[in-house]
Amino acid sequence: MKDRYLGIDDDVREIFFNLPPEDLEMVFRAYGRKYGEGKKRFAKQTFKKWKSGIVQMSGKISERLVVFLPPYLKFENKYDLVKKLWINSQPQTFFELSITPEQGFEEVVELIAKTIKEKLETNISESLKERLNWLCQNNAKKAEELLKKVFEKEGEIILKSVSRELRDISEYIRTEKDVNIIGVKEIKIANSTIIVNLKRAKKFWRFLMGDNSSNNLPDKTSVDQQIDQIDKNISVLEEGIKSLTPEQKNKLFEEIVKLKFKVQESKIDIDISREKLELIVEVVRKLPEDVLFRYIAKSTHKTPYGDTEIIAKKGCFTTFAIIISTFSLLLAVMVILFAGSAG
């Protein structure tokens, strides 16, 4: 059932259990006309037990409900179901990139933009629409249209927020001399995940390129202004979707409010991520130099669009280990040579 209907059967059951009494009665009547009065009577008698979980609803009955329930769904219910079907229709993809401030992160921005574009071009499969014929009705089509408009704006929020966050991490990596910083940014877009590993380039590369990595970083103020502009432009969604019913408009306004909240939330997340970055670097920077140990500190900030992990390292353990290894090798060679000459 879940494979057949991409996992919305649980959602349909939940909606069914919370239908207003008059709508519930209409569903039972339709069920009775199709499958007989006996099955209708059984369904009505068992309803409370299904709802409480005392009795589990069979897959067959649940599947029939998927067919009978849609005429009694509100637009917001259909919107949520269409959203889940659409997201579950998306292919699952995973990308991982390693970049440096010297390279810039245009590749990351392009990958995010490409992923968002591919998501917008993905539609709910025709075979599923045939099984759930209500998906072909005007309400569902309007829900999918609205959904994609909202997702497009959400994609802009993700793109600009990630750009600003990567910019902040890159700036710290480039300018911090005493602490080695590594940033790991997870970006979630529908069923796709992008992992960005951001770290300092090798010394030889920095020597060749010079300290010009700041030229590759977008202007911080410009990125902030772009995020603010998204907030201002969200309301134009209403103009982009024509001939909405009052119920559809209510859902659109609800999504607009959510988007505006997400913009503000992304700004807060950027500030928190920056503060955590500053704090962890400051703490590690104050630790004493030690040739025997390397200090490693980690900080993670969770956001709706993926987590950000900062790793700060300090110490000369690696260098010291190389010196010891080299000294040991030389000592071994000297012992062998001495033994040979003595023989």
Among 197-206, 256-265, 325-334, which range has the highest average pLDDT? 256-265
In a domain, 49, yes or no: yes
Q: Is residue 88 part of a domain?
A: no
| Residue 329 within any structural domain of the chain | no
Same domain, 67 and 153: no
Both 158 and 283 in one domain: the answer is: yes
pLDDT by residue (tens digit) across 178-232? Answer: 888 999 999 999 889 999 999 987 654 444 445 544 455 566 777 788 888 888 7
Kindly state whether residue 216 falls inside one of the protein's structural domains: yes
Q: Is residue 80 part of a domain?
A: no
Give me the helix-helix angle, 9-17 and 59-68, nearest 10°: 70
- Examine the domain organization and report whether 98 and 35 are in the same domain: no
Which DSSP state fits 213? G
CA distance 3 to 241: 32
- Whether 99 and 199 map to the same domain: the answer is yes
Note the helical H segments in the chain.
9-17, 21-35, 37-52, 59-68, 75-89, 106-121, 126-131, 138-175, 203-209, 220-233, 237-240, 246-285, 317-342
The rounded distance, in Å, linking the Cα atoms of 131 and 133 is 6
Number of folded domains that form the chain: 2
Residue 242, domain member (yes or no): yes
Q: Which two tokens stand for residue 327?
A: 């000294």
Which tokens hold the place of 223? Answer: 């990125």
- 25: containing domain: 9-72
Tell me: do 61 and 108 sit in the same domain.
no
Give the pLDDT confidence score for residue 283 in this predicted structure. 87
pLDDT value of residue 208: 47
**Among the listed residues 266, 229, 234, the one whose alpha carbon sits nearest the alpha carbon of residue 253:** 234
Nearest to residue 12, comparing CAs of 70, 83, 92, 90?
70
Q: Are residues 193 and 68 in the same domain?
A: no
Rounded Cα distance between 216 and 121, Å, is 31
Instruction: With respect to residue 249, please indicate whether it lies within any of the assigned structural domains.
Output: yes
Quick check: 279 and 299 in contact, CB under 8 A? yes
Q: Same domain, yes or no, for 171 and 303?
A: yes
Stated pTM of the model: 0.78
Rounded to whole angstroms, the Cα distance separating 102 from 174 reads 8
Give the domain-ending residue among 38, 72, 106: 72
Confidence of residue 324 (pLDDT cuts 50, 70, 90): very low
- Tell me the average pLDDT of the chain: 81
User: Is 272 found in the same domain as 200?
Assistant: yes
Q: Do residues 55 and 99 share a domain?
A: no
Shared domain check, 275 and 188: yes
Residues 189 and 287 in one domain: yes
Tell me the DSSP string of 111-135. HHHHHHHHHHH----HHHHHHSGGG
68 with 212, same domain?
A: no
Q: How far apart are CA 147 and CA 83, in angstroms?
A: 7
For residue range 62-87, list pLDDT tens digits in order.
Answer: 777 777 888 888 899 889 989 988 98
pLDDT in tens, 8-67: 878 888 888 999 999 999 999 988 998 999 999 999 999 999 999 899 888 788 777 777
Whole-angstrom distance between the N-terminal and C-terminal Cα of the chain? Answer: 83
Locate 5 and state its tokens.
């209907």
Whether 223 is in a domain gets the answer yes
